[in-house]
Amino acid sequence: MASRIQFPYNGTTVAVSPDNANTTLSLNVDGAYAVTQSSGNLFVHYEDTMGAGKSLKVELDYVGGANAALVSDAARLMSLIKTVQQQPGSCPIFKLTDDVPTAATPANFRLEKQTPFTALRGDAV
Amino acid sequence: MGYILVPIDKNQPLAVAALNNAAKATGGGTVTGTGASPATAIAAVSGSGSGASVTVTKGGSDSIATATITVTVAGDNYSIGDVVSIPAITGGSATKTSAVALYTIVDGDLVGDTGDQTIPAEDVLFAMPNDDDEVDLITRNWNSGTGAGANAAVTKYTIKVTGGSAISDEGDLAYDADGALVKESQGHLVPEIVWNSAVIDSGNSGLSVTYTD
């Protein structure tokens, strides 16, 4: 069983049917050991080596600009990852601190499909 | 190691070719004439297949069991074991039958791979919505790539829906796949991806899985 965390996903770039709007997609966090924040996005770092001194990381690409994901969100996500790694099957949902939809800005801080939806790279750590 | 199950070819057409189990066809009354009959729509007696048409060509006797039954229109959603009926063929100047014939679909009558496929879920990091009626299951397996482009250095499974009408809601495919991944993480044994109505109602066939390294 993989350890997974669910993230709100609002596929406005690649459409979803109304039945599935504002639901979640999940990320396998087995082997994740760190989370960093940059430009409003979060990066989950894995222990998997990718060759040439690089390791695996997954970008959680949020809409909402540079302030979408905060540094404190990275810390909260890392804390949640540690919890989930000890409780496989729990599959909690992680939301950003500022993910409080209002009538004026509904679903503003959900994961958005870019091209690609999420970048996966063997970047140096 | 946990797995998820990808249903393949749920909406499966018949192969446009001679059916393979004609020797065990029943009914049909007396078969007369020469050459291929006019194309005739067949009906489902069991199963949910629809839309296919066949011709009947008289064989060595007046029994349907010696005739050749050839699919001319593939139809959709047939399965092995389905029984279909061929109405009496009374028109035209070629082969005719005097009664309804029954035929049981066998392996080889259907197009494509009829088997489901499993994917090792623990290697899959996430399901990525993709254009072109696809969902990519991105893995953590390094493929020796060193490019800076997204996903350049990892392998992926691509589940593609083909045939029928285009899927306008590719995000739904990712949700469907993700649903099975979540179930697997919660201890379900080989959960199957349950495709949403946008896939089922689109008339799509030939769900295929490819592994790209």
Q: Could you tell me if B2 lies within 8 Å of chain A, comparing CB atoms? A: yes
| Residue B17 included in any domain | no
| Residue B109 included in any domain | no
Please give the mean pLDDT across all residues of chain A.
74
Which of B128, B171, B196 is facing A118, going by the closest CB pair? Answer: B128
- More confident of the two residues B39 and A55: B39
| pLDDT for A103 | 42
Structural tokens at position A54: 């690089």
Q: What is the ipTM of this complex?
A: 0.82
The partner residues of B142 in beta bridges, in order of sequence, read B154
Please give the mean pLDDT across all residues of chain B.
84
User: Which residues of B fall within a CB distance of 8 Å from A54?
Assistant: 146, 153
Are residues B46 and B124 located together in one domain of the fold? no
* Cα dihedral A46/A50/A53/A58 (nearest 10): -40
Q: Could you tell me if A48 lies within 8 Å of chain B, comparing CB atoms? A: yes
Of B211, B213, B212, B152, nearest in space to A52 by CA: B152
Final residue of a structural domain among B104, B123, B150: B104
Final residue of a structural domain among B104, B124, B148: B104
CA distance linking residue B184 with residue A4, whole number of Å: 10
Structural tokens at position A106: 């509904």
pLDDT in tens, B139-167: 888 776 666 666 667 788 888 776 555 66
Give the number of domains in chain B: 2
When pLDDT is averaged across residues A2-30 and rounded to a whole number, the result is: 71
Give the number of domains in chain A: 1
When pLDDT is averaged across residues B2-28 and rounded to a whole number, the result is: 85
Q: Which domain holds residue A79?
A: 4-121
pLDDT in tens, A26-85: 999 999 999 999 888 888 888 877 766 677 888 887 776 667 788 999 999 999 999 999
Contact B126 A50 (CB under 8 A): no
When pLDDT is averaged across residues B22-43 and rounded to a whole number, the result is: 95
Are residues B54 and B83 located together in one domain of the fold? yes
- More confident of the two residues A29 and B209: A29
Residue B130 predicted with pLDDT over 70: yes
Are residues B27 and B65 located together in one domain of the fold? yes
CA distance linking residue B203 with residue B9, whole number of Å: 11
Lowest mean pLDDT among A57-61, A110-114, B31-35: A110-114
Q: Could you tell me if B200 lies within 8 Å of chain A, comparing CB atoms? A: no
Of B138, B176, B127, B5, nearest in space to A46 by CA: B138
Residue B69 predicted with pLDDT over 80: yes
Q: Which domain holds residue B52?
A: 22-104
The band of B12, judged by pLDDT with boundaries at 50, 70 and 90, is confident
DSSP per-residue string spanning B178-213: HHHHHHHHTT-SSPBP---HHHHTTT-EEEEEEEE-
pTM summary value? 0.68
CA distance B184 to chain A (A): 6
| pLDDT for B158 | 85
Final residue of a structural domain among B46, B74, B104: B104
Residue A104's identity, in one-letter code, is A
Q: Could you tell me if A95 lies within 8 Å of chain B, comparing CB atoms? A: no
Are residues B83 and B149 located together in one domain of the fold? no
Are residues B158 and B180 located together in one domain of the fold? yes
